Amino acid sequence: EVKLLESGGGLVQPGGSLRLSCAASGFTFTSYRMGWVRQAPGKGLEWVSGISGSGTEYVDSVKGRFTISRDESKNTLYLQMNSLRTEDTAVYYCAKGSLRRFYFDYWGQGALVTVSS
Amino acid sequence: DIQMTQSPSTLSASIGDRVTITCRASQSISSYLAWYQQKPGTAPKLLIYKASNLEGGIPSRFSGAGSGTEFTLTISSLQPDDFATYYCQQYNPSSPYNFGQGTKLDIK
């Protein structure tokens, strides 16, 4: 059974940093594309970042501030978020992609990140 | 960037109705289109990938069609569990892999 469990969310001041983690199990973690999708309160879904064997990708609004990475020895996906802004406030979902594409067949429960002074 | 536009934004329907949601891409995405269902307070669930392929475990009343720039999600006979918000997502092989703004399906 595929499971994705996020952790690391919380309240942070503008300009601060936070690292989200996503512990994955039930599939061959190294083989699949992984991503982060966020949802601001009352809003729609926004793809944030993805990682594959070809490298990493980001939406323009987080480029230079967020870094996606994976630790294959721990089956864990990360999102390091620096220089946080109030508009980054959202529920962040970790999601499993397919072998070659960034559509998502399994999602974590979400981690709430609140950026506020 | 490829922009995704869904219509309508809100749809009111009754149990047993056939409903169709449309998603338009600002440029051709071939068949790289997925549909998701989301209920309040929960993560999205994948329904359809590659425009018309039903994800495992999804009821056959859900179907997807289209290619290029215009796509549809059809629910053939609405069930109580189907009232939710639906999103399309393009995953044409270049980011950003944008979602549509969502279509909220509620009970008439």
For residue A30, pLDDT beyond 90: yes
The residue-averaged pLDDT of A26-41 equals 97
> What was the pLDDT predicted at B95?
87
Beta-carbon contacts of residue B13 (< 8 Å; ≥ 6 apart): B19, B78, B105, B106, B107, B108
Q: What is the mean pLDDT of residues A53-75?
A: 96
Which residues does chain B have within 8 Å of residue A93's beta carbon, measured at their own beta carbons? 43-44
Asked if A27 reaches chain B (Cβ–Cβ under 8 Å), the answer is no
- Confidence category of residue A25, pLDDT binned at 50, 70, 90: very high
| pLDDT number for residue B7 | 97
What pLDDT, in 10s, does the model give residues B19-57?
Answer: 999 999 999 999 999 999 999 999 999 999 999 999 999
All residues of chain A having their beta carbon less than 8 Å from the beta carbon of residue B96 are 47, 57, 59-60
CB-CB under 8 Å, B89 with A103:
yes
Do the Cβ atoms of A44 and B91 come within 8 Å?
no
User: What value does the mean pLDDT of chain A take?
Assistant: 97
pLDDT at residue B63 in the model = 98
A59 touches chain B (CB under 8 A): yes
Sheet order of strands, B45-49 included: B10-13, B103-107, B85-90, B33-38, B45-49, B53-54
Please give the single-letter amino acid code of residue A72: E
The tens digit of pLDDT for each residue in B72-96 reads 999 999 999 999 999 999 999 888 9
Closest-CA residue of B relative to A36 is B97
pLDDT band at B108 (very low <50, low <70, confident <90, very high): confident
